[in-house]
Chains A and B, each alone.
Chain A
Amino acid sequence: MNDATVVRAVDARKSYDGAVALDGVSLDVREGEVFGLIGPNGAGKTTLVRALTGTVDAEGTLELIGEPAGDSDRSRVGLLPQEFGPPARLTARELVAYYGGLYDESRPVDDVLADVGLAADADADTWYENLSGGQKRRACVATALVNDPDVLFLDEPTTGIDPAGRRALWDLLDALADSGVTVFLTSHSMEEVERLADRVGLLRGGELVAVGTPAELVADHGGPARLVVSGPEIEAGAEPLRAAGFGVEVGADELVVGDVSPAELGDAVAALADAGVGYESLTWTEPTLEDVYLRLTGEEFEGAATPGASAVGGDGDRTGIERGDATTAATAEAER
């Protein structure tokens, strides 16, 4: 990655029939950087991709590879639209050859198909409409790679792809980024963005409300780590923990201890032991990018996924004495 800016938006604004899709978005993406864009449905992610690729007009300054977005060198740009549906009765091989044929220079079709895991003849020579959902998406990704782009826009590239295929695609994107390709990625998968992106931007209601590395966003907006102590009659442990200096919320058969660092775990356990309070499980959870997402988008709500629950899903770093019950933890978090 170097300091050259290849994607730039300054005060980008766009409305559709009075509904604001972009509300003063400004960002820079550097050459070789993987930039992840997250946000709820309707936040403006796809509109921002379209504005940056010049496929819709928007107010403000929008530049791609040093040119106004609509005038940039098209041979250097690759795009995978969100709901892309290519000609259904072309084979995967024909599709890649077709889009490759639109450029003066393109990569060998078989190489591109191999990159997305469709190298086998049985897959490559199957009509697009007869491929599985994941294979279709991979074929679509291939059409964005065939011109060997310098800047790659991928609008939810792994939707519908199975875990193995998704990880293979992540490895491919890693390799592309390592080779200097700039990747602008939108996704609803926090795991994907956390895994791939050098920096992440969060859109909400057309506004870019936070930008930074995943670690920076978690540190700034993720909230405190917490400890969940579960067991019958566990409420007896609330006072000893408070006496030891911890903030405690009491839930149904559990205590949620807020802002606990790893170094303080021993103190919490000792406070319970000294008070003779037994427990069935202790679960410590660090905030994750999903916590950031839920907090900044205001999508936290009772009974649904929350920071604690998301960590159980595998996104967070968990120091688990025993794996906790996500639903219970989520409820406690929401009530707090």
Chain B
Amino acid sequence: MSRVGRIRAETAAATRSFLRRRTAVIFTFFFPLLLVLIFGVLVRTQPGGGGLFAQPDAYYLPGYLATVVLFTPLSRVGSEIARHRDGHRFEKLATTPLTRGEWLLAHTLVNVGVIGVASLLVFALVTLVTGARIPVSVDLLLLVPLVALAVVLFCGVGAVLGRVSDSQDGVIAASNSVALPLLFLSDTFVSPDLLPEWFLPVVNLSPLTYFSRGVRALTFAAPEGDGLAGLGAAANLAILAALAVVAFGVGAVAVPRGE
């Protein structure tokens, strides 16, 4: 029971703490919905036209989902670490049997739950409001591990940001600095054909790219792009899984021990 019990206790405490911060709950769900309403309903796409949002509506579903799997774990795990440091909670936890890896796993599970629900809302809103046509098949179930693995990955990155930042303000600034470039340069809202040729290898370095392409392979009938963009959902899922394992490992080591 030991390990499971410890993770359960930490997960339960983290879940309660999150759900009782109403502002955090509201904005966790409100922010991605706002993006869908602004870009999907107000701006709207112009299939065949030039510039941004020139693709069909379904093309942008990975971008909307990316906002929740990217921003939320980065800021939530980073902020949680900052709060723990402020309250000397890691100092206390270091004298309990809970390990740093177990701590990060517990908080990752909370994020998987929260972001899973948020992703479901985004998916429903995009299909209902923008009229995006999503090909329905059993393969759509692969969206679940794609979202979960992306959350694991960015929880690990969030732990690193929490470690290197010295305050909650610092965490927010750092997570925005990391997330904003990733969001727009990972084959999400900005299609690769809008970027200079020389920059495309950089797109392939972003872990979010594999989430985006994996989701697009499942939800968009005519995937476009070059290089790895042509990989199927399973291949992108596998790459994402490998990156998630690495990021989680690094994040677990980065969780402070005695502060």
Contacts and interface: CB of A to CB of B under 8 A. Distances in A.
A75 interface: yes
Interface string A50-85: 100111100000000000000000110111111111
Contacts of B87: 83-86
Contacts of B12: 98, 101
Given A87-B17, A90-B16, A94-B13, A103 B88 contact: no
A49 to B, nearest CB: 9
A102 B88 contact: no
B16 A94 contact: yes
A279 interface: no
A90 B12 CA distance: 10
A90 B13 contact: yes
Give the interface size class of chain A. Answer: 20 to 34
B44 to A, nearest CB: 41
Interface in B70-113: 86-98
Contacts of B93: 102
Contact of A84 (B2, B6, B92, B96): B92
Contacts, number: 88
Interface string A98-135: 11111110000000000000000000000100000000
Contacts of A54: 94-95, 258
Contact of B94 (A55, A88, A100, A127): A55
B94 A53 contact: yes
Contacts of B94: 53-55
B97 A102 contact: yes
B16 A102 contact: no
A53 B257 CA distance: 12
B48 interface: no
B5 A98 contact: no
B84 to A, nearest CB: 9
A101 B91 contact: no
A89 interface: yes
Nearest to B16: A90
B86 A85 contact: yes
B9 interface: yes
B169 to A, nearest CB: 17
Contacts of A83: 87-88
A84 B13 contact: no
Contacts of B91: 50, 55, 79, 81, 84
A55 B21 contact: no
B95 A78 contact: yes
Interface string B1-20: 11001101110110011001
Most buried by B among A78, A88, A98, A102: A102
A143 interface: yes
A217 to B, nearest CB: 29
Interface of B: 1-2, 5-6, 8-10, 12-13, 16-17, 20-21, 86-98, 257-258
Given A83-B88, A85-B86, A85-B88, 19 more contacts: A54-B94, A54-B258, A55-B91, A55-B95, A56-B258, A79-B92, A84-B87, A85-B87, A85-B89, A86-B87, A87-B17, A89-B21, A94-B16, A98-B12, A101-B5, A101-B10, A103-B97, A104-B1, A153-B95
25 contacts: A50-B91, A55-B257, A56-B258, A74-B95, A74-B96, A77-B95, A81-B88, A81-B92, A83-B87, A83-B88, A85-B86, A85-B88, A85-B89, A87-B16, A90-B13, A99-B9, A101-B5, A101-B10, A102-B6, A102-B9, A103-B97, A104-B2, A104-B97, A127-B20, A153-B95
